[in-house]
Amino acid sequence: MRYKLLGGSGLRVSEVGLGTMTFGETKGWGADATAAEAILRTFTDAGGILIDTAPNYSGGASEELVGAFVAGRRYDHVISTKYTAAGARHVLAGGNSRRAMRRSVEESLQRLRTDFIDLLWLHFWDGTTPLAEILRGVEDLISAGKVLYCGFSNTPSWLVSRAVTMAELRAVSAPVAIQTEYNVAVRDAERELLPMADALDLGVVCWGAMAAGALAGGSDPRRRARADLPPVLAERATQISAIAAESDLSPAALALRWLLRHPAHRSVVPLIGARTPAQLKESLAAADGVLDATTLKALDSMAPPALGNPHELIASPYLRKFALGQPDLLDPPVRPRR
């Protein structure tokens, strides 16, 4: 296992994080307590230290299983959890408010059997809570020692960048990372989120690295049958399998190594989920290696994101010649992610 700093912070994390949405049996497809402990042990024995959970994963069972595992060795792990998604219980329970944040954190601390959370994520933007309230709520928790770092998950880039700017101007703790869906087949994050993260020195933790198994050559029928995959994803999964056959690698190895070894992914940390230790071992083995230039180019050209307006317009040679005179003389002529 290799390690990296999370964004511009001093927090060290493993280059791969363990996603624990599969922990708990409340939905009929998760790992039971014995399997969860074995998965966690496999991950930590391989050098993994970043464990990601959430209070709504299996109704809190995921946090409880993580807490039981790290008890007595809390400082050997980086635990990230979230707040927001508890509104189904009561109108006051969920959302991004300072009140919901405090309640969620207090309950997570109990389930995790700890007195602090390394990284608290805003799980998703609720569209109602002022950023100033969120930042103040986080700062209070950090001042109390209950939270060490914060990040924004599933939130538009303009809101995250505004939050960073507000935090800097107010001299309070700024977000250190974002979490978003990102994989070789779903690259919408390259439109705004990843360039923003580069510019603001934010870490990028990506969920859906294997698209629920679709990019590994299949999917879990208990969650989503192969025939039920969105047509675009099914097509790209087939393309990845073809590229894998040509490169003598598994589709899983291609998908994970693209996230880990791409030159543009310095700040990217993929989350890997598993239902069995064997699945996790297979994923970690697949991630360990490099990609040759030919394979990397084939993957990049397979599903480039549609950047849309204004990105495609301002990058066009027609406009750039008016702005720069002779744009081909500049090195680089544009600042793309690829």
% of the chain beyond a pLDDT of 90: 68
Q: How confident is the model at residue 43 (pLDDT cuts 50, 70, 90)?
A: very high
- State the pLDDT at residue 227: 65
Quick check: 334 pLDDT over 60?
no
- State the pLDDT at residue 337: 46
pLDDT tens-digit map of 148-185: 999 999 999 999 999 999 999 999 999 999 999 999 99
- State the pLDDT at residue 87: 66
- State the pLDDT at residue 212: 81
- State the pLDDT at residue 304: 86
- State the pLDDT at residue 327: 58
- State the pLDDT at residue 335: 53
| Whole-number Å distance between alpha carbons of 257 and 239 | 16
pLDDT tens-digit map of 61-103: 999 999 999 999 999 999 999 999 976 678 888 999 999 999 9
CA-CA distances (angstroms) from residue 91 to 97, 177, 230?
Answer: 12, 28, 33
| Whole-number Å distance between alpha carbons of 258 and 325 | 36
* Cis amide leading into 332 (omega within 30): yes
Q: How confident is the model at residue 275 (pLDDT cuts 50, 70, 90)?
A: confident
| Whole-number Å distance between alpha carbons of 178 and 155 | 8
CA angle 84, 271, 74 (to 5 degrees): 75
- State the pLDDT at residue 121: 98
pLDDT tens-digit map of 223-251: 556 667 788 888 888 899 999 988 888 89
Judge whether 178 and 184 are in contact, CB under 8 Å.
no
- Look up the pTM and report it: 0.91
Backbone angle region of 94, left / alpha / beta, with phi > 0 → left and psi within -120 to 50 → alpha = beta
Backbone angle region of 130, left / alpha / beta, with phi > 0 → left and psi within -120 to 50 → alpha = beta
| Whole-number Å distance between alpha carbons of 23 and 31 | 5
Quick check: 292 pLDDT over 50?
yes
Q: Is the dihedral of CA 64, 65, 68, 74 positive or negative?
A: negative
Q: Mean pLDDT, to the nearest integer, of 118-137?
A: 97
Least confident of 183-187, 212-216, 288-292: 212-216
Average pLDDT, the chain: 90
Judge whether 210 and 237 are in contact, CB under 8 Å.
no
Question: What HEC string does the chain produce?
Answer: CCEEECCCCCCEEECCEEECCCECCCCCCCECHHHHHHHHHHHHHCCCCEEECCCCHHHHHHHHHHHHHHCCCHHHCEEEEEECCCCCCCCCCCCCCHHHHHHHHHHHHHHHCCCCEEEEEECCCCCCCCHHHHHHHHHHHHHCCCEEEEEEECCCHHHHHHHHHHHHHHCCCCCCEEEEECCCCCCHHHCCHHHHHHHHCCEEEEECCCCCCHHHCCCCCCCCCHHHCCHHHHHHHHHHHHHHHHHCCCHHHHHHHHHHHCCCCCCEEEEECCCCHHHHHHHHHHHCCCCCHHHHHHHHHHCCCCCCCCHHHHCCHHHHHHHHCCHHHCCCCCCCCC
136-140, 219-223, 278-282, range with greatest mean pLDDT: 136-140
Residues in the chain: 338
| Whole-number Å distance between alpha carbons of 193 and 183 | 13
Query: Which tops the pLDDT comparison, 11 or 317?
Result: 11
Q: How confident is the model at residue 136 (pLDDT cuts 50, 70, 90)?
A: very high
Q: Which two tokens stand for residue 33?
A: 């307590």
Q: How confident is the model at residue 127 (pLDDT cuts 50, 70, 90)?
A: very high
Domains, the chain, in order of start with CATH, read 3-306 (3.20.20.100), 308-338 (no CATH)
| Whole-number Å distance between alpha carbons of 237 and 222 | 19
- State the pLDDT at residue 115: 97
CA-CA distances (angstroms) from residue 176 to 49, 76, 204, 265?
Answer: 17, 20, 9, 16
- State the pLDDT at residue 195: 95
pLDDT tens-digit map of 298-327: 999 988 888 999 999 988 888 888 887 765
